[in-house]
Structure formats: C-alpha cells, structure tokens
Amino acid sequence: MRSLFKFELYKIFTQKSVWITFLIIFIGLPLLMMFSSSQSIGVTKEHTKAAYEKLEGDLSKERITKLQEELNEMDVSSSTSEEFSYRVTLMKIISEYDAKERINEKKIALEQEMQNISNASGAKYEQLTLEHSMLEKINFNETTYSEGPLGIIAFLGVGTIFTGILLIIGLSTIFSNEATTGMNQILLSSKHGRKKVTSAKLFAAVVYVTFIIGIQFIINIGINTMLYTSQGWSSPIHKLDIFRDSPYAFNLLEYFSVQMMLHTLFALGFAMLILLISSLSKTSVKSIIISSILFILPLILSSFRISGLEDFIRYSYYNMMKVDEFFRFFEVFHIFGTPVLEPIAASIVFTIISIVFTLLLYPIINRKQVS
C-alpha cells in the first residue's frame, strides 16, 4: 500500500502541466502581490503605517468626533502622498466606528424583538438569543494597524482560484488517465488494481491538496508579512469591510485559523468530487472540462446576479473554499428546531457529501469494465 501510494504521488507530481501551473502561479503571484502593493493610488504602505501609529487607539465616541472634525478641517485640494494616506486612514477608522455602532444598534434591535416574542422557547427566540449572544462577545473598542493580517486574510479571494486550478490540473486525470493511456487494462486485472490503488490515489490526492494549500500559505504569510509586518492579529475581523455586519467575534488570527481549516476542508471535498468525475470519465479532457465547469460556472454566474441561482452560487465549491461568505452575516439552519450556524451546518453537510463521493469511488472502480 505504501509503495502504491508513493507511485500515485509520483504520478501526480511528475505531470508537466502541474509544474508549469505551479511556476506560473507561484512565481507570478509574489510578483503580482508586490507590484500591486506599490501601485495603490496615492496611498503608500509606509505612510499608512505612520498614520496608524498616530491614530491607533480606542474607538470611543469622543475620540471619533475629534477625528471627524480633523478630517473635515483637512485641505483636500493639496494632497501629498503622506496627507492622502493619513486622510484615508482617518476615514477607515471613522467607518470602523460606524461598524461598531451598527453592532450596538443591532443588539438593541434584537433585544426589542426578543421582548416582543411571547414564546420564549421557540425556534425564532433561540435564533435571536444566539445572534445576540454572539454580538455581545464582539470586542471592537480600539483600532490598530493590521494591514499584514488583513492582506493575508484577503488573499484567499484569489488564492481559491489558484487552489481550484491546481486541483483540476493535478487530479482530473488521476483515474481517467489510466483509460487514456490504456493502463487501466493492466491495473484492473491486477490484484491491487481496484481497491488498494483507489485508496492510494485518494491518499495521494489528500497530500497534493495539503501541499498546494501549504505552499500558498507560506507565500501568502511570507509576502504580506514582508510588505506590511505581522502586527495587528488581535484586531477584530470587523476591520475588514466585508465583515462589518458579521456577528462572529473572531479576531484576525482566529478567523484566519478557521478560514484555513474550512478552505482545506472544502478543497478536500472538491478534490473528492474531481476524483469521482475522473473515475467516471473515459478521457482526461472530459474530466478536466466537467471539473472546470463545476468550479468556474458559479464564479461567472455570480457576476450576472441571476435570481433563483443564489443558493447554487452560495454553496458552490468556489464560494465555499473562499470561506468569507459564511461569516459576513448571521445565517442559521434550523435542524430539529435548533438553530445551527451556517458555517457549521455547511461544513457538516459537505463533509458528509465528500465522504459519500469518496466511498462511491470504490464500487465504481470495482465494477469498472474495459470495453
């Protein structure tokens, strides 16, 4: 089994297409990140850091009022890069305070709603209690420089596309290539060519997924830390625009840990789907095309905002691997009357689906015929 696993790993990692894509992405990616960091119009990372050093502190009403006054008094016509960076930082901090206020307003609204509900043990009441208790835990009382962690977290927007491409290129041919090369005749007529080889391919796919994510992790952390420093991991996720209405009381480090865990989980799930498609495809081209459509289609459709397709897009592998959509708003599923948070429910459901895909591989390969 161990030697079969090594051979399967060797087969994945000796595909020229994998290495070409690796090189394009992992040489191009750091260059792109460094290039884009120096190209933000008017705002430089050095001046932003300097502005935060002056402005970081508590997000109290009194302080924000002063900052607002300072912003209003600023001369917007003559603006050096330093002044522009300072002004943008001021606006960011004020908007952070707005987010904090929105959280407080939401808590009050929930409390009123809870009071209006007569049945204090109903599902709706439980849902409101859950959301309220989550909002209670959010600690967004001060602001600090967090550009490094923010960049690291935001990376997955593009990183997910890289993961998807590398998974499709590396794994789509894992079974279908045996048919394309004619090797399936030898494999399927050999002692371990059905069950054990399937397990070996599965383990090799898991290692490949981990490798891809690991490499991206290193590049992401390395480049962002180098560009922006690693300060600010303890800031709440609400510093990021997309999480302004999030009920989750994560700091950036906690969110990044969850993000990587879920990204890996859903990437593994997508890998299992690719393997399943590969096992059912007679040619590698067919397998690559089907897997690519399943990954890219929701991404394309999301830009058209077609009604009725929201759930299809929301629970697509691309969207789930990106993770952030699950943590933007309070979303629950009621399972046996108990509200379960969407990320938890989605993780459980997709883990089950992935296990089913994995288990399906065995009977498919076991019954495979060569005609």
Q: Given the rule CB under 8 A, which residues bind other proteins?
A: 3-4, 7, 11, 14, 178, 181-195, 197, 369-371
CA angle 40, 42, 43 (to 5 degrees): 65
Q: Smallest gap, in angstroms, from Cβ of residue 8 to other proteins?
A: 9
Q: Which residues pair with 27 in a beta bridge?
A: none
Rounded CA gap, 230 and 239, in Å? 15
Rounded CA gap, 150 and 74, in Å? 27
Q: Smallest gap, in angstroms, from Cβ of residue 26 to other proteins?
A: 22
User: Which tokens go with 366?
Assistant: 């076991």
Nearer to other proteins, 14 or 39 (CB): 14
Q: Smallest gap, in angstroms, from Cβ of residue 286 to other proteins?
A: 18
Q: Smallest gap, in angstroms, from Cβ of residue 371 to other proteins?
A: 6
Whether 179 and 285 have beta carbons less than 8 Å apart is answered as no
Q: Smallest gap, in angstroms, from Cβ of residue 205 to other proteins?
A: 17
Nearer to other proteins, 179 or 209 (CB): 179
What phi and psi, each to the nearest 5 degrees, are found at residue 340?
A: -115, 130
Q: How far is CA 289 from the centre of its chain?
A: 23
Nearer to other proteins, 118 or 371 (CB): 371
Nearer to other proteins, 156 or 365 (CB): 365
Give 237's DSSP letter: G
Q: How far is CA 301 from the centre of its chain?
A: 18
Nearer to other proteins, 183 or 261 (CB): 183
What are the residues whose beta carbons fall under 8 Å from the beta carbon of 352, sequence distance 6 or more?
none
